[in-house]
Amino acid sequence: MFPTDRPRRLRTTPALRRLVAETDVRPRHLVLPVFVAEGLDAPKPISSMPGVVQHTRETLRKAAAEAAGAGLGGIMLFGVPAHHDATGSGALDPDGILNVGLREVREEVGDALPVMADTCLDEFTDHGHCGVLAADGSVDNDATLEVYADMAVAQAEAGAHVVAPSGMMDGQVGRIREALDASGHADTAILAYSAKYASAFYGPFREAVDSQLTGDRRTYQQDPANAREALRETTLDLAEGADMVMVKPAMGYLDVLRSVAEVSEVPVAAYQVSGEYAMISAAAERGWIDRERTILETITGIRRAGADIVLTYWASELAGRLDR
Ligand code: PBG
């Protein structure tokens, strides 16, 4: 062994380790996903996501103010309507819960915190699919694009800085870009869920949004077996005008995240999804892992793999423990 072969030298003190850290997590890297439900008088806990709730309009405002105060990178809103129908019309209604939530959050935070909207129909349809159905029951790609276009415009009008199409319909980014530009919203950005997999890790989210889905989303979300396909999806979204791209879930797809980050010319986000949250929460509750260290380690790993931005339900909590 040569005297130079001592990597441990740089690990001897916390200050040295800080000096040579290759990756950091700061509040600005984190986006908080939040749920706002119609017709609640008090926030409703989500049992499979301890600590996460369906917000009322009032508590949503508070959560947004807190997120801004914590210096987060953004807040992502999901709506939980009281009524569902076949075309998800509540998503287009300016008085629908998601658009009302967006308006109120924007009023609360102004431009201090980027306000993002989930642009997808699954929370609003009575069948729970991310799009509208054709006569044979399949999800109709092109008919869905027209609804997404109107939904994105409604969200921009409600005050979203960023719309985030998450339905994995082909052509969704291009169609939404066209609709935003044509309606005077050229500055509204698109965060494209480019590589979104048909994942079991979305389980708790289905409770979070009172999902009506029976069956699965495998005809539109990606097969977990495929990595190369994620690059194709990303390339298409970039060509259609995506301002940011996303890989989802995060922890099981770090290889995909890395390769998307290598080719992307725009910022890359990763979504640490509900099942990742639930899994760590459950193990920590049993005392099997150290909750706070595990949270930071997973998000550091997601950043290390190439994410500029991490969506995580721990965003506000974690920000309180991080340097600005
Ligand atoms: C669809 C959507 C889902 C999630 C975010 N957007 C659910 C799905 O595709 O089934 C999952 C997020 C999570 O699990 O935390 N609008």
What does the pLDDT look like over 78-104, one tens digit per residue? Answer: 999 999 999 999 999 999 999 999 999
| CB distance 274 to ligand 1 below 6 Å | yes
For the question of residue 248 being annotated catalytic, the response is yes
Residue 10 lies in a domain: no
Whether residue 3 is predicted with pLDDT greater than 70 in this model: the reply is: no
CA of 9 to the centre of ligand 1 (A): 44
| Token duo for residue 132 | 């509208």
Neighbour tally for 307: CB within 10 Å: 28
**pLDDT value at residue 320:** 97
Query: Domain limits at 58?
Result: 24-319
Determine which one of 103, 196, 217, 303 is catalytic: 196
The protein residue whose alpha carbon is closest to atom 2 in ligand 1 is 166
Whole-number mean pLDDT of the chain?
Answer: 97
Is the four-CA dihedral 202, 207, 48, 215 of positive or negative sign?
A: negative
Task: Examine residue 19 and state whether it is found in any structural domain, yes or no.
Answer: no
**CB-hemisphere CA count at 13 Å for 148?**
31
Q: Which has the minimum average pLDDT: 4-13, 148-157, 277-286? A: 4-13
pLDDT the model gives residue 166: 97
φ/ψ region of 47 (left if φ > 0, alpha if ψ in -120 to 50, else beta) reads: alpha
Q: Would you say the CB of residue 118 lies under 6 angstroms from ligand 1?
A: yes
- Number of domains the chain contains: 1
How much is the average pLDDT of 133-149?
Answer: 97
Whether residue 252 lies inside any domain: the answer is yes
Q: Locate tokens 């959050």: which residue? A: 105
Specify if 169 maps to a domain. yes
52, burial (CB in 10 Å: exposed 0-12, middle 13-18, buried 19+): buried
Residue 196 CA, closest ligand 1 atom number: 9
Q: What single letter denotes the amino acid at residue 175?
A: R
| pLDDT at position 171 over 90 | yes
Mutating to test ligand 1, I would choose from 120, 212, 219 the residue with most ligand atoms within 8 A of its C-beta, which is: 120
Residue 1 within a domain? no
215-245 pLDDT tens trace: 999 999 999 999 999 999 999 999 999 999 9
Indicate whether residue 276 lines ligand 1 (CB < 6 A).
Answer: no
Return the pLDDT at 200: 96
CA 93 to chain centre: 22
The answer to whether the CB of 272 is under 6 A from ligand 1 is: no
Q: Is 324 inside a domain boundary?
A: no
Residue 16 domain flag: no
Active site residue 196: yes
Is residue 51 packed enough to be buried (19+ CB in 10 Å), middle (13-18) or exposed (0-12)? exposed
CATH number at residue 276: 3.20.20.70
CB atoms near residue 228 (< 10 Å): 8
Q: Residue 311 belongs to what H/E stretch?
A: strand 309-311
| Residue 207 pLDDT | 87
The reply to whether 7 falls in a domain is no
Lowest mean pLDDT, pick from 123-132, 163-172, 204-213, 273-282: 204-213
Residue 273 Cβ inside 6 Å of ligand 1? The answer reads yes
**What is the per-residue pLDDT for 212?**
86
pTM of the model: 0.97
CB 123 within 8 A of CB 205: no
Q: In the numeric block, which tokens belong to residue 29?
A: 């890297």
